[in-house]
Amino acid sequence: MIAYLSLGSNISPRHEYMEAACRLIGERVGKVLRRSSDFFSAPWGYQSDHEYLNIVLRVQTSLSPKALLQVTQRIERELGRTEKNVYADRTIDVDILMCYAEDGTPLIVDSSELTVPHPRMREREFVMVPLREVFEEQNVVS
C-alpha cells in the first residue's frame, strides 16, 4: 500500500520532533518514498503563538490503514503527544491523508476510528501544498 501522511509540530524543538517522527515511520511503517519541503503555518482552528512545521510523506507499507493508524498513534505518544485534541499545541501530529492499493486503487475507510481519505484535508493549505508537491512528483515522467 502507498500511504500519504501529514506531519505537524509546533512545540520546540519542532525540527527534532519531526526528524524523530520521520525516522520512526521509516523503521515501523515502511519505506519513505518522498518527503515534501517544509511548510510553515499558523495554527488552524485555534489561537497560539507557536507556528507549525508541516510536511507530507509518501510511504510504501505492508500495513493496513487501521494498523497504520495504530503505529502512528504510538509514535505520537512516544514523542510526547498526550492528548488527541486537534485544537492544541503538540509535539507531533501524524494524520493519514490517503491510501492506495499496490494497483493504484484508492482505499476508502469510514469507521469511528479512521476516515480515509482525510475528510478535512482540502480545507487546509498546510496539508494541500506539501501533498501536491509529493503527489505530483510521482506522476512526472523523466
State yes or no: is 90 an active-site residue.
Answer: yes
Task: Extract the C-alpha cell encoding 119.
Answer: 475528510
Q: Which of 14, 35, 58, 93 is an active site residue?
A: 93
State yes or no: is 34 an active-site residue.
Answer: no
State yes or no: is 110 an active-site residue.
Answer: no
Q: Which of 14, 35, 58, 90 is an active site residue?
A: 90
Q: Which of 95, 110, 122, 132 is an active site residue?
A: 95
Q: Which long-range contacts (CB under 8 A, 24 or more apart) does 120-127 make?
A: 121/6, 121/95, 121/97, 124/44, 125/41, 126/6, 126/8, 126/39, 126/41, 126/44, 126/52, 126/54, 127/6, 127/54, 127/56, 127/95, 127/97
**Distance (Å, rounded) from C-alpha 22 to C-alpha 1?**
18
State yes or no: is 95 an active-site residue.
Answer: yes
- Which residues are annotated as catalytic? 81, 90, 93, 95
